[in-house]
Amino acid sequence: MPTKDPDVVRSVVTADDMAPDPMDPSWILEGNPEARSRRLFLDPDRSISAILWDCTAGRFDWHYGGDEIIQIVDGEAELTFPNGTVTTVKPGDIVYFPGAQIVRFNVPHYVRKVSLYSDRTSLTRRLIQKIPFARRIVHKVRASRSMFIA
């Protein structure tokens, strides 16, 4: 039997439900994006959470620690993934971000999302995230493996 009761997060969000959630200034590339959020931890060890998040216009790099799944609720954003793929997400779109990567966001006016975030990442992925040199090595090994497979 489950040891924890279910949590219900109401879908109606008002301005006073969300607190300022400033991003790291070094991530901001253009504009003055202002973010707000409200977080609900879903398990006792606080490793899985649901987050309501919104942001005003700007361009920034978002550094993902753990895995995150988002659904856009309002507004839109153009995303540039580490492999160079660019896509625009709008209300209803769902995106999965594996942890230990950087995704560029370009928010033309405003975006609001609901996300499920887990910092339960593998030891390898945590090391790659913390050691930029290791990240480059992994990418080179993957590239060289694909040359031999082809």
Convert the pLDDT of each residue in 20-66 to its tens digit. 999 999 999 999 999 999 887 666 666 677 889 999 999 999 998 88
Ramachandran sector of residue 75 (left: φ over 0; alpha: ψ -120 to 50; beta: rest): left
Contact in structure between 66 and 99 (CB atoms under 8 Å):
yes
* CATH homologous superfamily, domain 15-119: Jelly Rolls (2.60.120.10)
Q: Phi and psi for 111 in degrees, rounded to 5?
A: -145, 140
Residue spans per domain, the chain = 15-119, 122-150
pTM of the model: 0.71
Considering only CA atoms, which of 81, 102, 87, 77 is closest in space to residue 24? 102
Contact in structure between 114 and 93 (CB atoms under 8 Å):
no
What pLDDT score was predicted for residue 22? 95
Q: Please state the rounded mean pLDDT for residues 12-21.
A: 73
Higher pLDDT, residue 14 or 120: 120
Q: Please state the rounded mean pLDDT for residues 87-104.
A: 94
For 96, other C-beta atoms within 10 Å of its C-beta total 9
pLDDT tens profile 108-135: 999 999 998 887 655 665 565 566 666 6
Q: Can you name the residues that pair with 116 across neighbouring β-strands?
A: 50, 69
Q: Can you name the residues that pair with 17 across neighbouring β-strands?
A: none
Residue 17 has pLDDT above 90, yes or no: no
- Quote the longest CA-to-CA distance of the chain: 56
Average pLDDT for the chain: 82
Q: In the chain, pLDDT over 90 holds for what percent of residues? A: 49
